[in-house]
Structure 1
Amino acid sequence: MVFNLGDVRTSRAADFLTAQQATRLGLVEAWRRQTEVPAGVQSMVDQQLYVHVENPREYVEVVAAAPAASPAVEEPGAVNEAAKPHENGGTPPKKVLVRIPTDRVDAHGKAIGKAEAERLASNEIRRLKRRGIEATMESRIVPRICLYTLGNDGTLECRDAESGESVWMVRVGVERLGYKALGVGESFVSVVNGGNILRIDVTNGELIEQQRTVNVPIFGAINAGDFAVIATIQNGIEGYPLYDTSRLPFRERVSGRALALPVKAPGSTRIAWGTDHGFVYCMETSGEPSVMFRLNTDGIVSARIAAASDDRFFFGSEAGQVYGIKGTRTGQVLWSRPYGEPFYNQPIIAGEQLLIRSTYGSLYSLGLADGISTWQDAATNIDELVGTIGDKLYVTTLSGAFSVLDLKTGAQVESFPGIRPKRLLRNSKTDRLYLVGSTGAVQCLRSIDAELPIISEGHGDVKKVEVTEEKEEEEKKPAEPTEFGVPAANDPFAAPGADPFAAPGADPFAAPGGGADPFGADPFGGM
């Protein structure tokens, strides 16, 4: 069933921001498209964004060092933008006059290529020069961002997430068997259909292989490392090879059944998930897959975990404890802090902030480095987190409104009571906002001056090379001890002048500058 786009704009206007509302937030509608789902948003099984680093987009740009002067006479008192100093000092940034994608389709339906794009850019430079505008040609490469949507009838489509244009659409699997969450990677999309895993080529939607799972999947798949990984109902994790089909699938038994789909750290091959026995597991999925460690948490972690670059994972428990861990062989708890409210929702990461909502609708902003609150007070009445753009956080509220918060303080900036997206398409990968309406239409919003996307840390990186465990252990190895068993670097008698009693009247236990007793403050009291 295909819906008329005009109907989407009029009768379903409450699903999306209007042009005036977007302008109030400094946003503009980049595109709005109807997805090919059979019966609106309720027939969507899954929808995911993916940043394809190994298949980027290339642009040929015509740029000027400064904005060209207008031929018209400026009004008295007008500000010359070109003459204004740049906010970071030095010369102002270059202005892009023309941007030509090398994959632009010509009249014959083929990509024009870089040579043709450069020819078109050269023609534009000559036209600008005749008008007295000096410009140069530059090339820019950005990751390709795609939006994948799966319907309950097996319709799987891929769209360019920056333009909304359809890349391909296919029908996969058997409808009566049902579908679960998609696993999306650089080369393949994994579709769980009943007890089967279908491997789909991301470039054209072609079915590469269909394989029967040993045990029944619970949530769907996640593509991580060399495998499509699923959690099963038999308290286990299974992985099916994506690239080398001669390899055998792996099966790992763990303590407890997974409560949510595992999550992969950006730019990494390590995944983490929680089980109903009160453990959080971390697993390496490249090479020979293996469980690296498990953490016995204070309370069950029932929501999907949030992941950040450098193999970091963050989550809250039903007991109100929030954790930050790092996926290493030995397991590393970065921090653990009690917040007194149960957490059942997946957090979202924005820069160095962890945004996590409690079941009571309280939204906390914690520092990724230490877990300490970055807001004076938690935001209240929060239902779902949609995404962030710049210094603003977009949420839906328990009272049924679409609301905008200041990311630095948590204070409400705007609220639109009549706007409420029908489906949450959370985006922590780019600076784009995606709202999904009741018909299955998608609205993409961006900042007015952000024509090209900004990729969040880790999501635009190629798969990192893992540091060997031997090297990690070597780096952690303490300094060689002295004959008294004290590391030489810490021996107060090792170097002349290191005697803490050398300076007359100097108390080695006093606070610097004669301040308060450094042992008087409770190290666990502040958050």
Structure 2
Amino acid sequence: MRSGGVFLVIGLISWMAIQSPAPAQILEQIMIPPSSANRYGLHRAWVSTVGVDRSVERVESIAYNRGLLLVKTSTNTLHAVDAKTGRTLWKTQVGGILGASGTPAANATAVCIISNDILYLFDRQTGRVLGEVELPAVPFCGPSMSDSYVYIPLSNGTLASYSIRPDVNGEYDMARVWNYGISAILIDPAVVTQESVCWASRNGTVVSSDLDDRNIRFQFETIGGISGPLAARHPYLFIPSRDNGITTVGIDSGPLSGRTIWRYNAGGPVIDQPVPIGNTLYIVRDLFGMIALEIETEAARRARFGEIDSADVKSTGGNVFWISRGVDKFLAASPTRVYAADANGRMLILHARTGARLGTLPTESSTIKLSNMQDDRIFLCSSTGILQCLHEIDLVDPVQYNLPEENLGPTIQQGQNLETRLAR
């Protein structure tokens, strides 16, 4: 019996070796061939492999912040990857191998992630640990970051804010600056804008406060609760609710703050985060497709800047540009195209002005697809750690979106339609 068991194990290993493709074969199966990309005017900028032990480890999520990809695996290993070259800049073990951890976040100088109820802060360039702090309650989801603070929704219904500014000696004490409770479950990471931080509870309460203190700008109640993550493009906040609506609320410090600007009934639940690009808001209605909405009409924009009387504005926004059925996820957008995925994982190429389908690429093996609302780059990742980046051949430098005014680089200005840029 004993020798028979040994032979059985040896036979099983041999069978697995025959059945399992070699790493090179797996890489070839997942990579999009340059010829296939070129056929649709795309360039495969790079392919990279994140160090994953395929026998015990899988990539769980990827996050993106202005040129930095953060890849988190099932063993709580965090990889920082240069989005321009695909080169791994650093990697680190976050907490224990078996401990639960959330999606990471980043700003211009630091990266943070939560593991086993501990918030860790790393240097963005080197991965050096800057500080850590134990949280007072279980975090419900991942953190969000401004330049100076980390915001964490806790399971007790509180949003906690921690300072990530160094003291005069360059040390990070990670002190809790403020917290605000609304006696309800917080469901998604907070949304950080240039002026404020906004968060929502499952029952439909949306709160906006200043970045650096607990000064509440407004509290907004939706009908039917929240169905998906909030999104923002200054000066507007986009709220998906369980009554199938998308509500746009003003979040600037002026008279629009907390006011409903427009509301659109999607006819079904919007579960994914809405994506604002230029003057277009992309929403994906569950089991239906993608809807492209006008964020702000020209008349509403002129009224906001005092050029005309607001009483003369007949439509503020929420008008439908187009609908594309069969879309399951937004991936990226360029000035002329929108890239998405269907329910089978294939990448769809859509015309930005009309939503017409221009082509399809087989990306089913890249099971983790980033929804990129910061620039035009397309990032795909397999569970085994094969990363690839695509962009349009003519767009050598990233076309950036939703940047503060002081940032430079090619961008679609806020309040500008994709088609307006095309007409230039």
1:70-149 paired onto structure 2 within 5 Å? 145-149=67-71
Assess, with a 3 A threshold, how the Cα gap between structure 1 residues 153 and 189 changes in structure 2: closer, same or farther. same
Partners of 1:292 and 1:40 in 2: CA distance: 50
Q: Normalized against structure 1, the TM-score is what?
A: 0.64
Give the secondary-structure state (helix, strand or coil) at the position aligned to 1:379.
strand
Code of the residue aligned with 1:24 in structure 2: it is R
* Residue of structure 2 equivalent to 1:469: none
Gaps of 5+ in 1: 1-5, 52-144, 463-527
* Residue of structure 2 equivalent to 1:331: 258
* Residue of structure 1 equivalent to 2:348: 403
Partners of 1:8 and 1:450 in 2: CA distance: 31
Deviations 1:468-524 (A, max 9, x none): xxxxxxxxxxxxxxxxxxxxxxxxxxxxxxxxxxxxxxxxxxxxxxxxxxxxxxxxx
Give the secondary-structure state (helix, strand or coil) at the position aligned to 1:20.
helix
1:367 positional shift: 0.4
1:249 matches 2:177: yes
Partners of 1:400 and 1:216 in 2: CA distance: 33
Indicate conservation of the 8 Å contact 2:68/2:82, yes or no: yes
1:213 matches 2:135: yes
Give the secondary-structure state (helix, strand or coil) at the position aligned to 2:348.
strand
* Residue of structure 1 equivalent to 2:372: 427
Partners of 1:427 and 1:460 in 2: CA distance: 20
1:42-81 paired onto structure 2 within 5 Å? 43-51=58-66
Deviations 1:423-474 (A, max 9, x none): 1212121121111123211111122122222221326746xxxxxxxxxxxx
* Residue of structure 1 equivalent to 2:398: 453
Code of the residue aligned with 2:144 in structure 1: it is I
Moved more, 209-218 or 164-173: 164-173
Partners of 1:426 and 1:228 in 2: CA distance: 22
* Residue of structure 2 equivalent to 1:342: 269
Indicate conservation of the 8 Å contact 2:42/2:391, yes or no: yes
Partners of 2:366 and 2:403 in 1: CA distance: 28
Deviations 1:393-426 (A, max 9, x none): 1122135532211111111111235745211212
Assess, with a 3 A threshold, how the Cα gap between structure 1 residues 419 and 186 changes in structure 2: closer, same or farther. same
1:12 positional shift: 4.4
Deviations 1:114-137 (A, max 9, x none): xxxxxxxxxxxxxxxxxxxxxxxx
Gaps of 5+ in 2: 1-20, 167-171, 297-316, 408-424
Give the secondary-structure state (helix, strand or coil) at the position aligned to 1:431.
coil
Question: Identity of aligned pairs, percent?
Answer: 20
Indicate conservation of the 8 Å contact 2:78/2:92, yes or no: yes
Partners of 1:255 and 1:418 in 2: CA distance: 42
1:278 matches 2:198: no
Partners of 2:62 and 2:335 in 1: CA distance: 24
Indicate conservation of the 8 Å contact 1:299/1:317, yes or no: yes
Give the secondary-structure state (helix, strand or coil) at the position aligned to 2:360.
strand
1:271 positional shift: 2.3
Assess, with a 3 A threshold, how the Cα gap between structure 1 residues 206 and 327 changes in structure 2: closer, same or farther. same
1:233 positional shift: 0.7
Code of the residue aligned with 2:378 in structure 1: it is L
Assess, with a 3 A threshold, how the Cα gap between structure 1 residues 451 and 400 changes in structure 2: closer, same or farther. closer
Assess, with a 3 A threshold, how the Cα gap between structure 1 residues 280 and 211 changes in structure 2: closer, same or farther. same
Number of positions where the alignment pairs a residue of Structure 1 with one of Structure 2: 359
* Residue of structure 1 equivalent to 2:293: 366
Give the secondary-structure state (helix, strand or coil) at the position aligned to 1:365.
strand
Code of the residue aligned with 1:315 in structure 2: it is I
Indicate conservation of the 8 Å contact 2:379/2:390, yes or no: yes
Moved more, 445-454 or 28-37: 445-454
Indicate conservation of the 8 Å contact 1:305/1:346, yes or no: yes
1:470-485 paired onto structure 2 within 5 Å? none
| Aligned-residue RMSD, C-alpha | 2.5
Q: Normalized against structure 2, the TM-score is what?
A: 0.78
Give the secondary-structure state (helix, strand or coil) at the position aligned to 1:203.
coil
Deviations 1:356-399 (A, max 9, x none): 01112221110011011012xx2111212211133111122135
Deviations 1:182-225 (A, max 9, x none): 12112211110111111111121111111111111111211124
Return the match for 2:153 from 220, 231, 241: 231
1:26 matches 2:41: yes
